[in-house]
């Protein structure tokens, strides 16, 4: 993975297009692969994309830990927070890479994200994580992102 400083902060940038084979194996771009080949990545079905539909968010361990800390700080009596915890838990799975740098997307997660074997997917960097998208869904979310960009740039 691309490291920007001595504490190995990972930055996922760029966009790639890769095929998913019939066994739902997907090649991870070489620049995004962990240097430790035993590192597992967390796949989470991400439903917060409006009309575009779900994608798979892919978190390396350090970023998954940050997400878990954020979730742990949420009230256990807040029903929205509880629903979020349940959904992250039931719609996620750790995966490992094989020697060729591929992950196998679990059946249930692939189905929810609209990813099937024999198709091409978009892998989109999102700085701390990356996303795996069905190409049609990615086109929709990308159009929405582009429409919001002028206003979004004001946050910087």
b (16+ CB within 10 A) / e for 19-43: ebeeebbbbbbeebbbeeeeeebbb
What value does the mean pLDDT of the chain take?
Answer: 91
Instruction: Write the CB contacts of 36 (distance below 8 Å, at least 6 apart in sequence).
Output: none
C-beta separation of 129 from 12 below 8 A: yes
pLDDT at 5 exceeding the cut of 70: no
Query: 68-111: per-residue pLDDT in tens?
Result: 999 999 999 999 999 999 999 999 999 999 999 999 999 999 99
Q: Tell me what the mean pLDDT of segment 37-54 comes to.
A: 90
Residue 127 has, within 13 A of its CA and on its CB side, a CA count of 0
pLDDT above 60 for 20: yes
Query: Which domains occur in the chain, in start order?
Result: 15-155 (3.40.1550.20)
- Residue 2 — very low, low, confident or very high, per pLDDT cuts 50/70/90? very low
Residues 25 and 33: their CA atoms lie apart, in Å, by: 15
- The span from the CA of 7 to the CA of 30, in Å, is 20
Three-state DSSP string of 13-25? CCEEEEEECCCCE
């Amino acid at each position: 993975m691309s490291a920007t400083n001595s504490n190995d902060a990972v930055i996922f940038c760029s966009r790639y297009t890769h095929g998913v084979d019939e066994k739902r194996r997907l090649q991870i771009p070489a620049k995004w692969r962990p240097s430790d080949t035993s590192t597992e990545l967390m796949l989470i079905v991400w439903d917060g994309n409006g009309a575009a539909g779900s994608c798979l968010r892919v978190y390396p361990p350090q970023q998954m830990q940050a997400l878990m800390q954020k979730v742990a700080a949420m009230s256990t009596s807040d029903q929205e927070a509880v629903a979020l915890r349940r959904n992250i838990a039931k719609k996620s799975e750790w995966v490992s890479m094989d020697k060729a740098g591929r992950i196998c997307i679990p059946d249930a997660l692939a189905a929810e994200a609209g990813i099937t074997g024999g198709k091409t997917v978009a892998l989109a960097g999102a700085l701390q994580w990356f996303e795996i998208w069905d190409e049609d869904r990615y086109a929709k979310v990308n159009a929405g992102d582009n429409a919001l960009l002028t206003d979004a740039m004001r946050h910087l």
